């Protein structure tokens, strides 16, 4: 059995550094940022794979989409002028809005990958949480500090 741990790209800013995902489907390193590599899964490795992933980054289009949602909500609550326009923007489906923003950024080749500024401290804390969880599940009789 293989336990693979990787950073993930999130499609929502609120998920960054706030969840730990566990799956038996394996993991595709670099898949979330367009840097595809061989998947680490049972088909490729021939053994069961437990994947542990933590969303630590978002792309610029995701960040822009989330900020736009907040700005639209703020504009709707503050003003009656332009309400129809703001509501029209609000009704765009998530995928439509994301692809519109991504297409707008593509000509400038600016679809950057963004991570919070406290990422080093967060990764240190998450590594302790994940390692303690693994130690307790793999060695249930052993007490750790």
Q: What is the pLDDT of residues 86-134, one digit of tens each?
A: 777 778 888 888 888 888 887 766 668 889 999 999 999 999 999 999 9
Say yes or no to pLDDT of 31 above 70.
Answer: no
Q: What is the pTM of this model?
A: 0.70
Q: Which residues contact 22 (CB under 8 A, 6 or more apart)?
A: 50, 51, 52, 53
What confidence tens digit (pLDDT) does each residue in 43-52 have?
999 999 999 9
In the chain, domain spans: 2-57+116-138, 61-108
Q: How large is the angle between the packed helices 83-90 and 60-78, nearest 10 degrees?
A: 140
Can you say how many angstroms the Cα of residue 49 is from the centroid of all Cα atoms in its chain?
A: 20
The whole-angstrom separation of Cα 83 and Cα 110 is 31
């Amino acid at each position: 059995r293989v336990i693979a741990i990787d950073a993930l790209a999130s499609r929502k800013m609120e998920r960054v550094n706030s969840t730990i995902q566990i799956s038996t489907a394996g993991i595709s390193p670099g898949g979330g940022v367009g840097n595809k590599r061989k998947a680490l899964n049972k088909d490729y490795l021939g053994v069961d794979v437990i994947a542990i992933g933590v969303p630590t980054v978002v792309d610029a289009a995701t960040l822009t989409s989330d900020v736009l949602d907040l700005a639209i909500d703020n504009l709707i609550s503050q003003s009656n002028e332009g309400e129809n326009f703001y509501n029209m923007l609000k009704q765009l489906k998530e995928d439509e809005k994301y692809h519109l923003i991504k297409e707008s950024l593509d000509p400038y080749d600016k679809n950057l990958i963004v991570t919070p500024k406290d990422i080093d401290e967060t990764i240190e804390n998450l590594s302790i949480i994940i390692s303690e969880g693994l130690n307790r599940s793999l060695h249930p009789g052993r007490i750790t500090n």
